[in-house]
C-alpha cells in the first residue's frame, strides 16, 4: 500500500513539473468607459477569437492567464503571436489595430 501511495505522489509531481508555468498578461483600463482587447487567429473564423472586456472598476486590472513557458521573453512572445492575425484594442475614443508581427511583439513585450 505504501508503494502505491509513493507512486501516486511521484506521478502527480511529474504532471505538475511537466506543465508550463502560468503566464499573466495584465490589462488596466485607464479610460472612463469599457474597452475591449481582441485577438484574432483567423479573420473569418470566430471560434479562434479571444475577446476580453476591460471594465473600469477602480482601475482593477483584467488578467489573461495562459501557459507561456518559463518566462515572457522574446521566444515565448513570438510563439504566442505566431498564429495571431490581428490584435485590437478598442475604446470609446481610440482604436489600435496590430497586424504586423513586429508591432504585436513590441506591444506585448
Q: How far apart are CA 25 and CA 78, in angstroms?
A: 15
pLDDT for position 97: 94
* Whether 88 contacts 41, CB under 8 Å: no
pTM: 0.65
**Mind listing the pLDDT tens digit for each residue in 37-83?**
888 886 565 567 777 777 776 667 777 766 655 677 888 888 888 88
Q: How far apart are CA 39 and CA 55, in angstroms?
A: 17
| Residue given cell 489600435 in the structure block | 96
Q: Which three cell numbers stand for residue 80?
A: 504566442
Q: Which three cell numbers stand for residue 23?
A: 503566464
Q: pLDDT averaged over the chain? A: 76
pLDDT for position 21: 62
Q: In the chain, what percentage of residues exceed pLDDT 90? A: 11
Distances (CA, A) of 1 to 5, 7, 8, 87: 6, 10, 11, 53
Amino acid at each position: 500500500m505504501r508503494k502505491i501511495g509513493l507512486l501516486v505522489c511521484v506521478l502527480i509531481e511529474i504532471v505538475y513539473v511537466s506543465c508550463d508555468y502560468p503566464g499573466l498578461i495584465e490589462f488596466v483600463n485607464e479610460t472612463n468607459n469599457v474597452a475591449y482587447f481582441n485577438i484574432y487567429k483567423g479573420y473569418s473564423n470566430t471560434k479562434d477569437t479571444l475577446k476580453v472586456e476591460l471594465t473600469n472598476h477602480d482601475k482593477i486590472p483584467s488578467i489573461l492567464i495562459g501557459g507561456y513557458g518559463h518566462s515572457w521573453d522574446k521566444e515565448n512572445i513570438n510563439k504566442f503571436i505566431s498564429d495571431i492575425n490581428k490584435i485590437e484594442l478598442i475604446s470609446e475614443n481610440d482604436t489600435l489595430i496590430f497586424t504586423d508581427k513586429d508591432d504585436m511583439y513590441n506591444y506585448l513585450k
